[in-house]
Amino acid sequence: MSSIHQFKVKAIDGGTIDFADFKGKKMMIVNVASECGFTNQYAQLQELHEKFSDRLVIVGFPSNDFGGQEPGSEAEILDFCRTQYQVTFPLTEKVKVKGRNKHPVYQWLTEIGKNGVMNSKVGWNFQKYLINEDGQLDAMLSPANPPICELVLAWLKTK
């Protein structure tokens, strides 16, 4: 079975995010948007990043797929995230998370034929995918689930 560690993604600042660098750590993959009712979840994502960076990597994937709620350029998105929420966790280039042209990482996350665990659809901004230390999909959380919740905290304690 393939793992998420096979992917490399263009970072919002022009560098590369190599998921192989995160082997041995849990990951939370989140599609993010700057003008969404859930945008304030950036604060909890950053808090998780700061508290658990020894064992958790959060990667935000900006996307304009829902309600046009991420209309800005990558430079504007990065400035917003850093200014409003002091975001220091990795952010990717702006991507598609649904439809025919969805990013390969999101193809892997949403298709059982690729991830070996489940089919899912990204329903809105701030949907969370939980990936274990071996790069396998553990769970998907709805956008309404805050990043810091009992389920996530319990998951962080498991091996």
Q: Which amino acid is at 141?
A: L
Query: What are the phi and psi torsion angles at 12 (to 5°)?
Result: -60, -25
Q: Are 42 and 85 in contact (CB under 8 A)?
A: yes
CA distances from 67 to 13, 64, 77, 124 (A): 24, 7, 16, 9
- What DSSP designation does 38 have? T
Residues with catalytic function: 36
